Chain A
């Protein structure tokens, strides 16, 4: 098994030496060689217990081992599923690029894709600090290569470099965390971190890790790379990145969270607060976007926020000794990882379909796609419902787990926990409502109505191979929605295993209520089908006609009269003002203009959180740096003077006994 894994990674180099049209097949074969062993391990772990596999590579810190416990196994299965979908999707999505791109770029792209997959599998199974950091770095580097696939565009390259820098900040913080722990315990690994936590106050080190992993996950205020990198990357990459790669940050937070022992209340409040802020701001910013992929990127922040809220409530449950809340909070967050991976990659792939068919992702230019692209719009609609947490789909199940954990302890908890619980419920509800707002906009404006642009050709449905991943994802989404008990119980078992809890009756109580939820969902679908059949029967008896839309007496309706993304988001604009700088850009009508000239109108939005937290510092530095340019006179005399001055300074310092 391990040999297969290694051979797969080794053979990726073969990608560069085979003809262009066979590269994809090799990539698929190699990916299956990665998937088979890791899936076998993961299923083995979920059924039995932790396994340790020796990778057979020795470094100065000992031999590298894969340690797979149930948390790793769970993430491994998600990684395999989403990456497989991504590669299947890529076969269709990359086709138009094949003639345009040079062979080496295609090789590099597929090579990086396989390596990203491999690196993520390694990230979740490495416990040794060095090996983990190495895998983490590989993941960041290869995802960078994937993002800059269209590097001929300057904006893409710029985005890529921004992404690379932020990922290295994340890397540095995680390394710092490991080193702090190593400094005291002498053990550069997760075990060392755990030992550090048992001896010292937990908050500072936890915050270091939270920031490090939080950059990857995209918690606000570390989110700024997400809305740039996802739209710039090709759709199969953004689907995989948003679906699973940002979850590696969540994996890290889970791993660290399972080890903390003191300061639980403080840490819980911090995580919950970051979760709430990310969730609410993420979705509010999403609503104001016009770019479909950017909108989805902001939704990733929102969903990461929901996961953060689950983790936060779990920690608070641990702090207050309420095991029910702890287990349900963590389990909800864990299940939301899977759910978000499914529907977000589905949405990115379908957004990719839209781009493939129309060459636009700007909603101002879309509309009416549901007629030409029927299957894509089915898939997007299901993804939209699922991400809004609406039954009978999977998004509801994980949110329900968090809700039921929180509601359950409302009457017994102490004041502070009650207040935080209510804040959590309120935010979840508001996020749900805003999500409905946002996705009725995203789906309604891009897929429904009529095209918002005079177009000469009706967009056509994409090739079938690009719809195949959607079939896989939708069937999982429905499976979780209709059989929530199985998945809920699984998540609870993983949480209990992670926290080394004895098995309790929580799983049973969750199964009990989730079974009913599953039944309700099934009943809902059956009844919908029945009503539709009833209507079909009724309509077979009477006359069915097609006519123009009722324009309230006005008969010259036009596609320009439809609601636009801007007008749909207008109600929320004032509420969103504190976080979004939203501007209308237009030339006003001059007072005495008789014959109107050509005028333009568009809106711009700027992320104020980014502006205030990140860019303000950068601007400050950039503005003051030119002043240092005085020293750069261009005269060799001056440049010789500087070392001289430096030496004199050293001499002084030594003379004064400072050095």
Chain B
């Protein structure tokens, strides 16, 4: 349960840090760290407008999306504290749960019969299709390296051999960080702040959601962010340290990651749409390198 607590703590400051860092780089003072959450709470209290062309699918999409992320959070371990669910191949279920959320959000975008949202839906389906293999190759290579098959066991045994673990851990962490950016539709794949619906991915899909639905979608996005960054942090935090040092490290890494995203979004432009597929495939390629590294370490080649 410790990991769940840490995820929620990190989710509280994560979006705020990104906004703050971006504001500072833009020369503004910026809102407080908790401002994104105030916005969400305001949304949760508001009424909703439903598109007259939408059907029941639009109504169920947001709750299902929110729930899948919430349940997926129960799979994330933090070092030796066992996640609520841990079993052989639990990362398969983790990825497919997020798949369920994606499926319904894509459908909700198609449900409002808007050309813009259809565009976003199409892109989300395409990018996630390209992205998912990277996550599985990554987890596969970690499984190959450690000889274990669940999140908890993999991360608990990633550090038995310092040199090799460092190599594997750093590459894995890098790949996971990139996966995070794609999964949560941030730069360089998607710019959530661009005010041109033609070029957005995730934000354009939720254009017609409002009030409570939009609120829980935003919460889910924040949690999803932290889920992946916790996985990423798990790859690099050394096992040998005391528990409280590791907790502090985790929280600091999360904050640094958020700051990094803020920095990235301040100085980098979004990819051209046509380049995104290449970018995502290159992440896959790095993940493939990882699996060959793991094979070499295991003396298979």
Contacts and interface: CB of A to CB of B under 8 A. Distances in A.
A531 B51 CA distance: 21
Nearest to B66: A531
Interface in B43-66: 44-57, 60, 62-64, 66
A411 B146 contact: yes
A444 B96 contact: no
Contact of A547 (B52, B133, B291): B52
Interface stretch (B8-16, B107-115, B161-169, B231-239): B107-115
A539 interface: yes
Contact of B144 (A368, A388, A411, A542): A411
Contacts of A374: 56
Contacts of B67: 524, 527-528, 531
A391 B89 CA distance: 14
Contacts of B226: none
A407 B141 CA distance: 10
B136 A436 contact: no
A245 to B, nearest CB: 29
A568 interface: yes
Contacts of A412: 147
A628 interface: no
B99 A544 contact: no
Interface string B96-139: 11011011001100111111111101110110111111001100
B271 to A, nearest CB: 15
Interface stretch (A493-501, A555-563, A616-624): A555-563
Contacts of A407: 88-89, 92, 140, 143, 149
B38 interface: no
A430 B129 contact: yes
B207 interface: yes
A651 B133 CA distance: 70
Contacts of B103: 385, 388, 390, 436, 439-440
A422 B93 contact: no
Contact of A418 (B64, B87, B213, B295): B295
A433 B128 contact: yes
A387 B260 CA distance: 39
A545 B106 contact: no
Contacts of A562: 113-115, 118
Nearest to A428: B136
A654 B274 CA distance: 73
Contacts of A448: 54-55, 57, 107, 110-111, 113
A549 B211 CA distance: 15
Interface stretch (A99-107, A213-221, A396-404, A588-596): A396-404
Interface in B197-220: 197, 207-208, 211-213, 216
Interface stretch (A127-135, A459-467, A509-517): A509-517
B257 interface: no
A67 B277 CA distance: 54
B254 interface: no
Nearest to B70: A527
Contacts of B268: none
B301 interface: yes
Interface string A520-562: 1001100110011001001100111111111110000101011
A559 B100 CA distance: 27
Contact of B113 (A433, A434, A549): A549
Given A404-B88, A513-B87, A444 B100 contact: no
A542 B50 CA distance: 13
B129 A437 contact: yes
Contacts of A570: 122
B57 A449 contact: no
Given A449-B112, A572-B126, A370 B66 contact: no
A411 B88 contact: no
B92 A400 contact: yes
A546 B66 CA distance: 23
B116 to A, nearest CB: 6
A635 interface: no
Interface of B: 44-57, 60, 62-64, 66-68, 70-71, 74, 85-90, 92-93, 95-97, 99-100, 102-103, 106-107, 110-119, 121-123, 125-126, 128-133, 136-137, 140, 143-147, 149, 197, 207-208, 211-213, 216, 277, 291, 295, 298, 300-301
Interface of A: 367-368, 370-371, 374, 377, 381, 385, 388-391, 396, 399-400, 403-404, 407-408, 410-412, 414-415, 418, 421-422, 425-426, 429-430, 432-434, 436-437, 439-441, 443-445, 447-450, 509, 512-513, 516-517, 519-520, 523-524, 527-528, 531-532, 535, 538-539, 542-552, 557, 559, 561-563, 567-568, 570-572
The 8 closest A-B pairs by CB, nearest first: A563-B118, A433-B129, A444-B110, A449-B113, A542-B47, A370-B55, A411-B147, A513-B87
28 contacts: A377-B57, A388-B103, A411-B146, A415-B301, A426-B136, A429-B136, A436-B125, A440-B106, A512-B87, A513-B87, A520-B74, A520-B97, A527-B67, A535-B213, A538-B45, A539-B48, A545-B50, A546-B50, A547-B51, A548-B53, A549-B51, A549-B113, A550-B51, A550-B207, A552-B197, A559-B113, A563-B118, A567-B122
